[in-house]
Amino acid sequence: MQYKRLDIHYTEYSSLGELPERDRILCEEAIKAQKSSYAPYSKFNVGAAVLLEDGTIVRGSNQENAASPSGLCAERTALFAAGVLHPGVPMLSLAIVGGPDYGMCSSPATPCGGCRQVMAEYQKISKRPLSIIMIGKDAIWKFDSVDDVLPLIFDSI
């Protein structure tokens, strides 16, 4: 028997101004996207923005439904929209922001497991690392690859 451990790596920034310009612009897009969140049930509003290799930025936000499983998270609306509108264009980076009543949590909003699996799929077909940026009021976390937010990714193929 052998005890093992996995390390994950990320960079913490203390403000948006500290980020490299490309990341900061993407975060600002995620913050704008949060305004389109439709979350009358949870009142937890999430915005996301995906940067594509050709420079396009695609926004998403959580869209809820009276029949709750029919709603969708911000990350997935952004990733699926990018997949539909720009098929075959690699995805480079995804920024996420969330908080109650269109606000921002102090600690970065972290994506749910289902969204992480979808990120893994697009990272795979993009054939390059997809970085994930989680925005909070007190800190911003940047993960350079989906592997760092979803260790031991399920991949049947």
Supply the residues annotated as catalytic.
Answer: 75
φ/ψ (deg, to 5) at 61: -155, 160
Q: Does 111 bind ligand THU (CB under 6 A)?
A: yes
How far apart, in whole angstroms, are the C-alpha atoms of residue 1 and residue 98? 42
Identity of the residue, 53 or 107, whose beta carbon is nearer to ligand THU in the bound complex: 107
Identity of the residue, 18 or 112, whose beta carbon is nearer to ligand THU in the bound complex: 112
Identity of the residue, 92 or 94, whose beta carbon is nearer to ligand THU in the bound complex: 94
Residue with token string 């269109």: 102
φ/ψ (deg, to 5) at 79: -65, -40
Q: Does 112 bind ligand THU (CB under 6 A)?
A: yes
Q: Does 42 bind ligand THU (CB under 6 A)?
A: yes
How far apart, in whole angstroms, are the C-alpha atoms of residue 84 and residue 88? 9
> Which residues inside 53-72 make contact with ligand THU, applying CB under 6 A?
62, 64, 71
Identity of the residue, 112 or 125, whose beta carbon is nearer to ligand THU in the bound complex: 112
Q: What is the DSSP letter of 8?
A: -
Q: Does 46 bind ligand THU (CB under 6 A)?
A: yes
Q: Does 75 bind ligand THU (CB under 6 A)?
A: yes
Q: 109: closest CA among 151, 75, 66, 69?
A: 75
Q: Does 44 bind ligand THU (CB under 6 A)?
A: yes
Angle between helices 74-85 and 113-126 (to 10 degrees): 30
How far apart, in whole angstroms, are the C-alpha atoms of residue 102 and residue 31? 9
Q: Does 134 bind ligand THU (CB under 6 A)?
A: no
Q: Which residues bind ligand THU (CB under 6 A)?
A: 39, 42, 44, 46, 62, 64, 71, 73-75, 111-112, 115
